[in-house]
Amino acid sequence: MLRAETNQAQAARYIANGIAATAVHYAVLQFNLGVLHLPSAGLANLIAAGFGITTSFLGSRYFVFRAHAGSFLHQFARFGLLYACIALLHGGVLWLWTDLNHLDFRIGFLLATALQVVLSFWGNKVLVFR
């Protein structure tokens, strides 16, 4: 029973951290497109992903998985590799959705983010903060 409560609490913290990281990511994406007028939604999203990733790492390490006893540098390196792959996938989805098919970038962002959620929880739990 205690294990299930721990998993539920971890899942709730993961969701809260994900909302915060996604808000940062989306705000920077909006800034890149609306203020800086970057010509590519894929490029704007790739840049924004770096800000969301940093927020996610700090939240995952200290709040979600509470795995700050491990080496910061090793966790950061594994997290960075995982999120570099996810960011490329996220940017690719947005590039295909918006730049290639001329569809609304907000919908593409939501689709790419749903894929990111699944991949990041699994990767963090199994590969980064074990």
What is residue 5's predicted lDDT score, i.e. its pLDDT? Answer: 55
Q: How confident is the model at residue 3 (pLDDT cuts 50, 70, 90)?
A: low
Percent of the chain with pLDDT over 90: 65
Distance of CA 51 to the CA centre of its chain: 9
| Residue 97 tokens, joined | 């959705």
Report the alpha-carbon distance of residue 2 to residue 8 in Å, rounded. Answer: 10
User: Does residue 13 register a pLDDT over 60?
Assistant: yes
